[in-house]
Amino acid sequence: MRMTFRWFGEGNDTVDLRHIKQIPGVEGIVWSLHDMAAGVEWPMDRIEEVKKQADEHGLNIDVVESVNIHEDIKLGLPTRDKYIENYKKTIEKLGKVGVKVICYNFMPVFDWTRTDLFKELEDGSTALFYEKAIVDDMDPMDLVNTINDNPDFTMPGWEPERLAQLSKLFDAYKEVSEEDLWNNLQYFLEQIIPVAAENDIKMAIHPDDPPWPIFGLPRIITGKENLRRFVKLVDSPYNGITLCSGSLGANPNNNVAEMVREFADRIPFAHIRNLKRYDNGDFIETSHRSEDGSVDILEIMKAYHDIGFTGYARPDHGRHIWDEKCRPGYGLYDRGMGIMYMWGVWDSLNRYKENN
């Protein structure tokens, strides 16, 4: 397992690269050019700038999250081909600096959805919270206003240029079914997976968050059966999965550890996150410790150990603790503790294997 840590860039993060370097076992950063609009070709000088910054701290830039996909590709519009060509060119540039994994998603309009960015837990910490009844009843623009009430940090997946087109996008998706979305995803994969293979970069789709339809929008990367269908769309080791325990774990019917074992050879990147589910469909994110949430992180780590996982992993969202002021879900302290919990489990499994 190769441990990484998400970093949003100089001037766009409360976490410095020197902080990340001090977390035991972290080899690299998970990064992106967050100011680049979906569909544009990334400039080489900006890519090389990030590499230079990481190199100065002895960190790799092997994992990019994300190169965002333009909505015209998801909608299957005739204009999609020019955006796919830009995507291919970006893949080629990332290959030149040693990138090995690109995490992306195929969610219409919204990359992720929460109703409260700082919901208080019993211990006084705060975390990202999803209240099902609110999402079921609210206008999407009300949700946008909630997310935008956080002016100090950019929120990936909620970029201003995307939100400015919200009404237009909802109208466009009225005629798009789940099957249409599958077809549009396959078209995209058939175009880019050969380019990814040529550049030795594994594409790793992120599950839908949460893993069910919202606001009438189709969602397709939601559980085991759909992941089985996904890997067959283009049957290549370069067509992989970012297995996110938190996104998939929001649905109690998803057994993440089973998925780790089934899709072992198609997981180049793991997001490890815990959450507490409620019977009414709500959930709140918690510490990584298994006992604090509804997702069995201990069993998931055991599954990764059992398959001999050598891919990249990162602690996903964390709580906001010790009065830290940070981007929602992305503080330093709780994610750092999450890494130590994961290493503790991993080291214990190594020791047990050595002695038995």
Check if 330 is active-site: yes
Neighbours of 336 (CB within 10 A): 20
Marked catalytic residue, from 70, 305, 317, 320: 317
Marked catalytic residue, from 330, 333, 334, 341: 330
Marked catalytic residue, from 244, 304, 320, 334: 244
How many whole angstroms separate alpha carbon 34 and alpha carbon 42?
11
Q: Which residue has the tokens 């999250």?
A: 65
Residues 6+ apart with CB under 8 A from 32: 8, 64, 65, 66, 67, 156
Check if 72 is active-site: no
Check if 320 is active-site: no
Quick one: CA torsion of 102, 106, 107, 109, rounded to 10 degrees?
Answer: 90
Instruction: Quote the tokens at residue 242.
Output: 């970012």
How many whole angstroms separate alpha carbon 192 and alpha carbon 229?
18
Residues belonging to the chain = 356
Check if 316 is active-site: yes
Strands 202-205 and 275-277: unpaired
How many whole angstroms separate alpha carbon 174 and alpha carbon 180?
11
DSSP 55-117: HTTT-EEEEEE--PPPHHHHHT-TTHHHHHHHHHHHHHHHHHTT--EEEE---SS-S---SEE
Check if 70 is active-site: no
Check if 352 is active-site: no
Strands 312-315 and 2-6: parallel
Marked catalytic residue, from 70, 206, 288, 305: 206
Instruction: Quote the tokens at residue 145.
Output: 């206003």
Marked catalytic residue, from 271, 288, 305, 320: 271
Marked catalytic residue, from 282, 296, 316, 334: 316
> Hey, which residues are catalytic here?
206, 244, 271, 316-317, 330
